[in-house]
Structure formats: C-alpha cells, structure tokens
Amino acid sequence: MKKKKSIIKIIVLSIIIIILIIVSALYITNISFRSNIDKFFNKEVSENNLNSIEINSEDKPMIYAYDEYIVVLSKGVLKSYDKRGNVLSTNDINITSPMMSSSGKYLLIAENGGKKFCVLYNNEVLWQKSVEGSISKININSNGYVSLIITDTTVKTLVSVYNSEGVELFLTFLSSTYALCTDISNNNRYLAIGEVDYSGTIIKSRVKIISLDLVKNDPENAIINNYESESGEIVTDLNFQVGDNVYCKFSNYIQRINPTENERVLDFNDDMLFVDINAKNCVVIFEKQSSGLLSVDYRVRILNLPAKTEKLYFQDLSLINSLKTSDSNIGLNFVNSVQILNKSGWLSKRYTTNKEIKDIIISDGIAGIVYKDKIEIIGL
C-alpha cells in the first residue's frame, strides 16, 4: 500500500513538473499566451487605468522616486505622494535647480551648482546645510551618510562627508585631479572617490578607497587602496555592493575594488548599448545580438557579481530610450511602452500607451511614467 502511494506521488509530481515546463515554454514563445498570463497576474497595465499626479511641465518640476514614494519639487515646494497619488507631506525646499539621490527611506536634495542641500527621512526634513563653493555631485547611503563633490574653490575639487545627523566627518582637497563620483559603504566605514586627471597628455582615472575610521586617528594612512585605470579611461560611476566591494564603471570596463584587492569583472563591447551598476549586487546590460543576416534582436543580461550567475530576458524587446534601475527593479523605457523587470529576469509590469513617454522614474516600491502634464503611478 505504501509503495502504491509513493508511486502515485511520483506520478503526480512528474505531471506537475511537465505542466510547469509546458507553461514556461508557452510563456516564453507564445505572445498571446504570455499576454493572457500577464493580465491574469495583473502584470499588464495601460494609460488612464492608473492613479496619477498632475504636473505642469512649464514649472520645470523635478520628479523622483524613492522607497514607496514619488516626490515632485516645483517652485520651492516638495510634495510627496503615495501609490494612490495622495499627498503625504509638503515641505518648503528653497532649491531652484535640484538634483537628488536616495537610499532606503533617505532622500538627499541639493542645488545643482549651488550651495544648499538637505536630507529627508520618510518625507520629513531632518537637517539642511550650505557649503562654500558649488555642489556638482551628491550621494547618500542607506544610513543617511552624505558625500558631496564641491567645485569652484581655491582647489580643483573638494569632497565632503556628513553623518546622518549632519555633522561633517571628513573634508579632502584634490589639487591635481577632478572628482567625478563618490559612494559611501553601507557600514559607513569607507568612502570611494572616482577622480580623473587631465593634466598629462593621456587621461587617467583613479579610484581611492578611504577608511573613515583611520581619517580620525591616522589620516596619513587613511587611503587604503588607490586604483589607477588604464590609459584613456574615465570613471563614470561607483557603487558599493556586498561587503566592502565597490564596483567602478569606466569608459570601457567595470572593475571591482575593495580595501585589499582589485579585479576586472566586465569588458564592454559594441553590442552593449546600456550598462548600469546601480542594482544591488548586479550589473544590468541591455545589448543587441544578431538574429540573421540583416536583423537584430535585443536582450537584457543581469549579472549577479558576487554569485557569478547570469539571468537573461528577451521578450518583446526593441531599442530602448533609457534604462533605469533601483536596488531590486529594472525599468526599460520604450517610445510607447515600459517594461519593469525584477533582478531574477522576470517581468513585473508591462505598461502601454499611445503617447510618447517623456521619462520613467523607479524605486523598489513604486514607478512613475512621466508625461508633460501628469505622472502615471505603478505600484511594485
């Protein structure tokens, strides 16, 4: 009797596995079947069927998504919205040309080319400061630690670091190079600075990792790694990932750097149209691939660097206008549609419209489809 029950269980399990394989194959290869499945799981959404936020493009609003909120800064007023389009908070922010950076529930807003900046947590202003010089780049980590790149001073560039209470912890002067990007590790121990040197006949970039602990007690030994790029390379982005690894995007490659070692993780080629290092522990690549003598297909490659695994997504893709990422989501902006993927390479939402999409914004909990007069809200 027990043997018979075991055989039945094996048969049932085998049937379930076969059904799953068939359904997966149909989902990948059959457009009509995939569309019906996506509608059943509420993956298909379209314009005018979503909650929205009205905007006036003539006011040149700054629109941004972080955590589960969409924020709109216009005429010195910052409004935060939830997934239903309800206003959660209103703050007076006297910044006219804003740039924003976020991590978790922290949001950093600064005057692009100006002196003022402020930090919000969960839509409420925590603190605000001003600097000498002009702010050119900003960054905030998941604990609310801030790094600023400041220009128009007596030296070429300053880099300043503040803790979550607004206390300046560190200020460094770069007299012979220009800082282009910074990031602070999630344990608040390390600052990475991406610099470029234009003084010689050949352009070179450097990435310094600075111990914020040693800066206090042993500043002469605070620089614990100083990586120099290949000739002609410009560093364009930095992102601390798992552990103390910072992934550095240069013109033609990505380098992993930590306090003790360096490793090349990816070389670019002409088929890679977009490369993004800001998803958590991942590099996201949108690339073309030849599918015939005169035809081209497109795909998304999601490289999990610590695990050294790769996921592929290639359903209903054409050339995109832009690629946006958060820690967990990937947004593909086409002319009249948007696809939002998770890091496992599965579709989360597909948005369609008859209008031209101006821009998309995305975080882990919310996405916005930006038009001239409104923002359509997609909950994730």
- Region 214-229: mean pLDDT is 91
Q: For residue 225, what are its two tokens?
A: 């790694």
142-163 tens-digit pLDDT: 999 999 999 987 777 999 999 9
- For residues 248 and 297, is the Cβ–Cβ distance under 8 A? no
**Domain assignment present for 353:** yes
Q: Which residue bears the tokens 């603190």?
A: 127
How far is 78 from 102, CA to CA, in rounded Å? 15
Domain-embedded: residue 25 = yes
Nearest to 367 by CA among 313, 344, 337, 345: 337
Same domain, 18 and 55: no
Judge if 6 and 54 occupy the same domain: no
Q: Give the model confidence (pLDDT) of 294-310 as tens digits.
A: 788 999 999 998 888 99
- Give residue 7's domain range: 2-35
- Domain assignment of residue 127, yes or no: no
Does residue 50 register a pLDDT over 60?
yes
Per the domain annotation, does 218 fall within a domain?
A: no
pTM, rounded to two decimals: 0.90
Is residue 237 situated within a structural domain?
A: no
pLDDT of residue 291 exceeding 80, the answer is no
DSSP character for 5?
A: H
CA angle 234, 288, 290 (to 5 degrees): 135
For residue 77, being part of any structural domain is answered with no
Task: For residues 20-29, give the mean pLDDT.
Answer: 63
- Does residue 282 fall inside a structural domain? yes
Residue 40 pLDDT more than 90? no
Whether residue 340 is found in the same domain as residue 371: yes
Considering only CA atoms, give the Rg of the chain: 23
The answer to whether residues 55 and 12 belong to one domain is no
pLDDT above 90: residue 74:
yes
Percent of the chain with pLDDT over 70: 92
Report pLDDT for 316. Answer: 86
Task: State the average pLDDT over residues 350-367.
Answer: 96
Q: How far is CA 355 from CA 13, 17, 24, 58, 349, in A?
A: 47, 42, 32, 19, 18
Name the percent of the chain in helix, strand, coil, to the closest 5.
15, 50, 35
Domain total of the chain: 2
Helix 31-40 / helix 2-29 crossing angle, nearest 10 deg:
110
Q: Is the pLDDT of residue 31 over 90?
A: no
Q: What is the mean pLDDT of residues 75-89?
A: 97
- Tell me how long the chain is: 380
Q: Give the residue, 21 or 380, on which the prediction is more confident.
A: 380
As a whole number, the mean pLDDT across the chain is 91
CB of 193 closer than 8 Å to CB of 179: yes
- Do 14 and 55 belong to one domain? no
pLDDT at 380: 92
In a domain, 217, yes or no: no
Output the CA angle 67-280-172, nearest 5 degrees: 90
Contact 108, 100 (CB under 8 A): yes
Q: Is the domain of 52 the same as that of 22?
A: no
* pLDDT at position 348 over 90: yes
Closest CA to 322 of 365, 264, 275, 289: 275
